[in-house]
Chain A
Amino acid sequence: AQSVTQPDIHITVSEGASLELRCNYSYGATPYLFWYVQSPGQGLQLLLKYFSGDTLVQGIKGFEAEFKRSQSSFNLRKPSVHWSDAAEYFCAVKRQAGTALIFGKGTTLSVSS
């Protein structure tokens, strides 16, 4: 069965430091992958997505992610974190059948000053 794993439940990063959030998926063919962010009390906002082509994907708010087929990973990165990046981050993969998504359990990012 398809699944998405986000190994880190909670990460704390100092403001200005770099960030990497991990995401692993299980899927046979080329997956359609997404990263969403959820600020407190809000819905989910798309950060970036990978469908095909260049394996390094640029998103909004200075985020990027790299698709690595050999590692079944789609890790999210940002070179310099801002306090406003504190939120919950979800990795997702499109289901094999249909258009719905399978989400990971999320990683909560805290930013310390």
Chain B
Amino acid sequence: DVKVTQSSRYLVKRTGEKVFLECVQDMDHENMFWYRQDPGLGLRLIYFSYDVKMKEKGDIPEGYSVSREKKERFSLILESASTNQTSMYLCASNLGAPDTQYFGPGTRLTVL
């Protein structure tokens, strides 16, 4: 079974802090994704990566950056956390288009 893990289920940070969300997949997938999920808005794509050190902006990249130094690991970085970044963050991966995306359990981030 494909497994996508996220470093934290719940995270509480202060405004202005630098926040790192980690995601690891164990199936040698080429593509990895970060989504943000908010009630009534569904999932929105923040960034994705199709190879090591490669990244592409999604629909809402402002305030976020990403890092992919190893194929299995994709990190989402909030450079200076703000209260409007309080949300559920979901990581996903797949082998290629149009392959199924496999999701991690999510990180619920609260920024105070």
Contacts and interface: CB of A to CB of B under 8 A. Distances in A.
A103 B42 contact: yes
Contacts, number: 61
Contacts of B102: 46
B100 A49 contact: yes
Interface residues on B, range: 20 to 34
Given A44-B103, A106-B42, A100 B48 contact: yes
Given A99-B96, A99-B98, A44 B90 contact: yes
Interface residues of A, number: 24
Most buried by A among B40, B43, B104: B43
Contact of A99 (B40, B44, B94, B105): B94
Contact of A43 (B44, B97, B106): B106
A100 to B, nearest CB: 5
Interface of A: 9, 32, 34, 36, 41-46, 49, 51, 90, 92, 94, 98-106
